[in-house]
Structure 1
């Protein structure tokens, strides 16, 4: 059933809109991309007249029946070519260079035709044939007299008509945009991509995220990650909605295919496509290991060096990394970081990950139900893809400067990313360039969130280098500063802000590169001095426990009253990694206050953490990676971190944002530590 947006779309864009449920109806089980079907549907089905729609569908079915090649019909098509001499087919065609024979061979995918003859001129006119291939209407010929040596190669490609719009005017869209409200235009865009914005589950937040998937198509050299559940349409846009994007399976990226073939000098996919989407990037990304440094170069500047060949080579392709998260996001955050599901080639490479402009939280987009796909009118896919491509020529990089400035935590890469996300939303929703202050503020908040998500994970991986994540913007008129948070971080505090139960304390440890957070939980029962440590196999942790217990035993008369003795008490000590698995030495102070608070049944202060060791002789050891440990504890909920006095000179290295929300008192002996720790 049509609505008023359908009416407007048909009136303003007649011949360029189709009912979006028609292509799936015709497609059935055939492996025909949506843009192929809608290319055929656009001329006959851009109407709300049901009779004309039925007639148009029949025409398209006839064309597909006669000319579209299903893989199982490949032998029949080859036979028709032999019998008729010439035949027109709709198929995907790719080309490869045979350097030994100095010629090109065409491969027709569904027709299963290998090594068809094709002229150099056709290849030069359609270079994407060499980069994964294109869908096209292909004029084929069969000539058994064509031979190379003693072999017959009878198939010949006479002509190619790519399935793309022949002409397009962005000015037309800009002119017609004024006849739609912002919400109407937003719905038309989403319907053009196949979604139904009025369906259950696609609220305003999800709609904004779905539009974000389009930004790599309207912003050149835009790098994005989306990880989420299966069947949520992560790759759909880049496979079905545009012929200008390349969907690449994980592990297939080679230097020659992506960047440059050093034998031929031909620039690879980054120079020929608008977007390259690495599907299943959680498994494997590149076939060649040396593709990683080249990709870093390219993601940073849009260019790369050919090494020994000399010179910089540029490209415009945006890079998208898609993949699945198989655990709840809360679990991932508690144990690691949100890049950890990605391929091991890059998931801890901060230089690589810092080049990501936006991290789309795919876990918020649930699996699509049939009702989430629209039955209304939207731009035909070929028209829509040309619209997206045309928008790449514009930029609204400085749009926010009229009303807002960015907070001081945003570094150059952060600011660049935020500006480009805002620019992308303006291009999509305001192709006429008319937008309001309120529109800008809305897009700015989304942009800050998407880049901050990248930075927060970098902080988890790289520590102090990426600590400035308190992203904000400042209203130039009121000078009010607004801070932007992340939905998944709001409830991710690991250290509870309530008085800790007797025996419970937190600490931080490190493997030398990464900081982990541990929870110490101690239960005491009457016994004969047995100590049981569970939850860890770390010899360093067990050494901390041994030294702390021996210190208390050696000084029982000064530390414990006559009612308590470790000789008559069994201690069960549970060590839990609540963030990371980087367990090592340095938690003796937390064990000490845990044991005494358990013995005396006294609560410890709210949000308490203790770092540092107490030796058997009672000395307090200086903490290594002091700033990283204090900052990590504070960012995960600690309200007080008690630290060794020997680290006092390093207090200046702790960010002021950390010190503003967490007390950092010092201790130089066990007695002072206990006094400051008890509630």
Structure 2
């Protein structure tokens, strides 16, 4: 394998290989777009359209972006201003997230029309043509960010006249693999790292730290893959999930209802797990449910079988992955205070091994340094919308799991769930680091299988502490590449 000095991060090579799918990551922090609530996968697209170039924005470029933002991105308190302009016959153009929902009601005697929603303006009953919906079917799922042309019908109903999406819709995975072949493994790892928004040249980002930060991408590349990250505050656990794709949904702490997560019987709308590719629950240490048994039961079923049933309605199947983020306390040596039971400070239901066993692993976030401004990406990386879509597209390719199966040997210490978890984690690392599947057995063992085992070992350690049943097995899971 070609060695690579991180001090020679080659932005020119990245631009030569990926062309307009790459962007200088210093553009975004100097733009002020994230401060306006614009996710990175939208902001980088806009920057490339408005002020293409490299390096921090000039004063002129910043003024151009700010003028555009003030005009095109509405605030919540702009809704009455926009409504007034619509009543004056104006076609108002804005950039926002657009969703479409279809509400079925029996006994109405007519087929309901789909209704568009613009959440930032709290507009939930806009008319939209079926032609626009058929062209952009993702509107019916997570919704899409784009340029919306909004008008008003004669009866006072807001109307979506036109829509131009911003998000990358399709990735040529063979072309992506061909691009990977033009980088060494270390160069590609640093490109992935920079594309996430981190500076691969920062001395605090060791090889180990990079491995666990890249592990945050596993729920994107693997369908029905469920993972936790436990870390002290300030390591940037949620950053990538908030910015990489509109197909992810993030919920921060507090109380989560069964209707929100699974199915709303009143509106008959499928919940988060049925609509998104990844659902991220942040601040899990403060997570509560009104009635935990009503949530934990279907959650265990879903984590095990990829489907759930709520309130007697038909089964809902999904390939959504679940990511849990939580803060934990460290000792004076910056190690977890309860290293053999990392979930001890989480809500009590995570100490039920029947639930815990359904997670593939725990990312050791205490091995990731706290984030500071000089750790932000400063070279060329992949545009966030393309990067996110490429990762999500890989979840449908089974060749990586097959490779892992063919090159992994378990002994009797590994249960079926241990084996499935480790194989899926190893498959995920293959997709992130070796999408072209050109690697040696040593590469696989070092970069994929070993971290996959470490992720799962944290689950086994907690189970061994919590439940006598697991003490019948050895505490260590033994796996080897062959």
- TM bucket (normalised to shorter chain) is 0.7 to 0.9
Residues 107 and 115, structure 1, Cα contact 8 Å, conserved in 2: yes
Report how far residue 127 of structure 1 moved: 6.7
Please name the residue that 1:137 is paired with. 147
Report how far residue 179 of structure 1 moved: 1.1
Residues 305 and 313, structure 1, Cα contact 8 Å, conserved in 2: yes
Residues 98 and 144, structure 2, Cα contact 8 Å, conserved in 1: yes
Report how far residue 189 of structure 1 moved: 0.7
Any idea what SS the aligned residue of 2:37 has? Answer: coil
- Counterpart of 1:422 (choices 422, 426, 433) is 426
- Counterpart of 2:323 (choices 301, 320, 323) is 320
Q: Distance in 2 between matches of 1:256 and 1:103?
A: 23
Q: Is the counterpart of residue 370 in structure 1 residue 373 in structure 2?
A: yes
Q: Distance in 1 between matches of 2:23 and 2:202?
A: 19
Residues 100 and 117, structure 2, Cα contact 8 Å, conserved in 1: yes
Q: Is the counterpart of residue 236 in structure 1 residue 239 in structure 2?
A: yes
Please name the residue that 1:185 is paired with. 188
Report how far residue 159 of structure 1 moved: 3.2
Residues 75 and 111, structure 1, Cα contact 8 Å, conserved in 2: no
Please name the residue that 1:332 is paired with. 337
Instruction: Write out per-residue CA displacement over residues 461-504 of structure 1, whole angstroms, 9 at most, x where no aligned residue.
Output: 1123354321222454xxxxxxxxxxxxxxxxxxxxxxxxxxxx
Q: Distance in 2 between matches of 1:157 and 1:254?
A: 31
Please name the residue that 2:462 is paired with. 457
Please name the residue that 2:401 is paired with. 397
Instruction: Write out per-residue CA displacement over residues 286-339 of structure 1, whole angstroms, 9 at most, x where no aligned residue.
Output: 4553121111111112122356345x43211100111111443756317x8211
Residues 189 and 378, structure 1, Cα contact 8 Å, conserved in 2: yes
Q: Is the counterpart of residue 214 in structure 1 residue 224 in structure 2?
A: no
Report how far residue 241 of structure 1 moved: 1.3
Residues 10 and 46, structure 1, Cα contact 8 Å, conserved in 2: no
Residues 9 and 377, structure 1, Cα contact 8 Å, conserved in 2: yes
Report how far residue 212 of structure 1 moved: 0.2
Q: CA, structure 1 residues 133+255, in 2 after alignment: closer, same or farther (shift >3 Å)?
A: farther
- Counterpart of 2:478 (choices 452, 472, 476) is 472
Residues 229 and 363, structure 2, Cα contact 8 Å, conserved in 1: yes
Please name the residue that 2:3 is paired with. none
Q: CA, structure 1 residues 382+281, in 2 after alignment: closer, same or farther (shift >3 Å)?
A: same
Residues 23 and 38, structure 1, Cα contact 8 Å, conserved in 2: yes
Residues 39 and 380, structure 1, Cα contact 8 Å, conserved in 2: yes
Please name the residue that 2:45 is paired with. 39
Q: Distance in 2 between matches of 1:382 and 1:409?
A: 41
Any idea what SS the aligned residue of 1:161 has? Answer: strand
Residues 27 and 55, structure 2, Cα contact 8 Å, conserved in 1: no
Q: Is the counterpart of residue 77 in structure 1 residue 87 in structure 2?
A: no
Q: Distance in 2 between matches of 1:18 and 1:350?
A: 44
Q: How does 1:462-501 map to 2 (within 5 A)?
A: 462-466=467-471, 467-474=473-480, 476=482
Instruction: Write out per-residue CA displacement over residues 599-654 of structure 1, whole angstroms, 9 at most, x where no aligned residue.
Output: xxxxxxxxxxxxxxxxxxxxxxxxxxxxxxxxxxxxxxxxxxxxxxxxxxxxxxxx
Q: Distance in 2 between matches of 1:26 and 1:419?
A: 41
Q: Is the counterpart of residue 5 in structure 1 residue 10 in structure 2?
A: yes
Residues 358 and 417, structure 2, Cα contact 8 Å, conserved in 1: yes
Q: Is the counterpart of residue 174 in structure 1 residue 184 in structure 2?
A: no
Any idea what SS the aligned residue of 1:110 has? Answer: helix
What are structure 1's unaligned runs of at least 5 residues? 147-152, 477-679
TM-score in terms of structure 2 length:
0.86
Q: Is the counterpart of residue 109 in structure 1 residue 114 in structure 2?
A: no
Q: Distance in 1 between matches of 2:224 and 2:243?
A: 21
Any idea what SS the aligned residue of 1:471 has? Answer: coil
Task: Please identify the structure whose Cα radius of gyration is greater.
Answer: 1
Report how far residue 268 of structure 1 moved: 3.1
Q: Distance in 1 between matches of 2:129 and 2:184?
A: 50
Instruction: State the Cα RMSD in Å.
Output: 3.0
Report how far residue 114 of structure 1 moved: 5.4
Q: How does 1:294-309 map to 2 (within 5 A)?
A: 294-306=298-310, 308-309=312-313
Any idea what SS the aligned residue of 1:319 has? Answer: strand
Residues 103 and 267, structure 2, Cα contact 8 Å, conserved in 1: no
Report how far residue 8 of structure 1 moved: 1.1
Report how far residue 72 of structure 1 moved: 4.6
Report how far residue 71 of structure 1 moved: 3.4
Q: CA, structure 1 residues 114+314, in 2 after alignment: closer, same or farther (shift >3 Å)?
A: closer
Q: Distance in 1 between matches of 2:455 and 2:481?
A: 20
TM-score in terms of structure 1 length:
0.63
Residues 16 and 42, structure 1, Cα contact 8 Å, conserved in 2: no
Q: CA, structure 1 residues 54+287, in 2 after alignment: closer, same or farther (shift >3 Å)?
A: farther
Q: Distance in 2 between matches of 1:56 and 1:16?
A: 21
Q: Distance in 2 between matches of 1:125 and 1:291?
A: 36
Residues 35 and 242, structure 1, Cα contact 8 Å, conserved in 2: yes
Residues 94 and 147, structure 2, Cα contact 8 Å, conserved in 1: yes
Please name the residue that 1:434 is paired with. 438
What are structure 2's unaligned runs of at least 5 residues? 1-6
Report how far residue 198 of structure 1 moved: 1.2
Q: How does 1:205-604 map to 2 (within 5 A)?
A: 205-251=208-254, 253-262=256-265, 266-286=269-289, 289=292, 290-306=294-310, 308-310=312-314, 312-328=315-331, 332-333=337-338, 337-344=341-348, 346-395=349-398, 396-442=400-446, 443-466=448-471, 467-474=473-480, 476=482
